[in-house]
Amino acid sequence: MLLSWLLTYLFDSKSIEMNPLQQRVGYNNLCVGWDTAPAKCVAAPIYVIIICLNARFMQLDYWRAALNPKITAFQQRAVLVCNVCSTVSWTVSILIFVMDPKESPEGHTAAFLQLVVFGYIAYAANFLEADSDYHVRGSQAFLAIFGVVSALFGSCAVVQFVTYEPETGSRGPIPWYVTAVGDYLWFGCLGAQGYFRPRAPSITLSFILCSDEDFTQPSYEEAAEIEMVVEPNDKQVRQVSI
């Protein structure tokens, strides 16, 4: 983001002084720095990497939920739905680089605001998935604050865009600093969410070496209590309780 702002300042400083987003909400959103070339050409490929990393995280998170015998079928389905929605949302958000804010400020902003909504839903699903023993101190309070900030920022932005009068340049009823506070607090929550995310317990995949005649399908409860340990330079396999 810093690189994008530097490039925009050097090559298109006029877009910082006045742009369609500033006209509607009264201030410069952090994303204004990568709305024009050449900053857009640098930020877009990096953003694609972020999308891929997020999609991989959501995939691994669902696999963890599917392998965890202690959560219910409802929890697994909820994690699946929320993670899929988050992955699609991040993919759709690439449209902020496709829809030029000068030509379609509403579409450009909508591509970003939907990420605010679905990003929070996916984050909240982590609390539904994890046992309360793995919640970080203060995480429930942060979850509530994050939700309020997301709702505040999203609502203010929608109101300002809907009530903007392009003929007269008249902005909506919400003071610019109210929307700006919600905006910058949301980015702050985005940076803090990693610390407050519930800690995931370790999952052990168990194997039992036996002949075909002696094989029986273990239950999930039995498999969760068995760990395979192979001693170095030893072909013997022993089972220990964990």
* pLDDT tens figures, 19-35: 999 999 999 998 898 89
User: Is the per-residue pLDDT at 236 higher than 80?
Assistant: no
State residue 240 phi and psi, 5-degree precision.
Answer: -130, 150
User: Is the per-residue pLDDT at 149 higher than 80?
Assistant: yes
Give the range of the structural domain holding residue 29, as residue numbers without chain letter: 2-196
- Same domain (yes/no): 90, 187: yes
- Same domain (yes/no): 128, 37: yes
- Same domain (yes/no): 148, 227: no
- Same domain (yes/no): 234, 172: no
Q: Which two tokens stand for residue 124?
A: 């909240």
- Same domain (yes/no): 84, 176: yes
- Same domain (yes/no): 217, 136: no
> What is the predicted pLDDT for the residue at 219?
62
DSSP string, 15-83: HHHS-HHHHHHSS--GGGGGSSTTHHHHHHHHHHHHHHHHHHHHHHHHHHHHH-TTS-HHHHHHHHHHH
Alpha helix locations (H) across the chain?
A: 2-11, 14-17, 20-25, 39-67, 73-92, 105-129, 139-163, 176-196, 220-224
- Same domain (yes/no): 229, 141: no
- Same domain (yes/no): 30, 65: yes
Q: Which two tokens stand for residue 41?
A: 């050409």
- Same domain (yes/no): 53, 166: yes
- Same domain (yes/no): 170, 224: no
**pLDDT-derived band of residue 217, with 50, 70 and 90 as boundaries?**
low
- Same domain (yes/no): 176, 226: no
- Same domain (yes/no): 117, 212: no
User: Domain boundary residue among 177, 196, 215?
Assistant: 196
HSE toward the beta carbon, residue 91, CA cutoff 13 A? 10
CB-CB contact of 62 with 128 (8 Å)? no
User: Is the per-residue pLDDT at 238 higher than 50?
Assistant: no
Closest CA to 157 of 169, 174, 145: 174
Domain count, the chain: 2
| Between 233 and 7, residue with greater pLDDT | 7
| Lookup result for tokens 């996916």 | 122
| Lookup result for tokens 């970003």 | 112
Q: Are strands 237-241 and 226-230 parallel, antiparallel or unpaired?
A: antiparallel
**Predicted structure pTM score:** 0.80
> What is the predicted pLDDT for the residue at 192?
97
Closest CA to 172 of 158, 184, 183: 158
> What is the predicted pLDDT for the residue at 3?
84
Q: Which two tokens stand for residue 92?
A: 């759709």
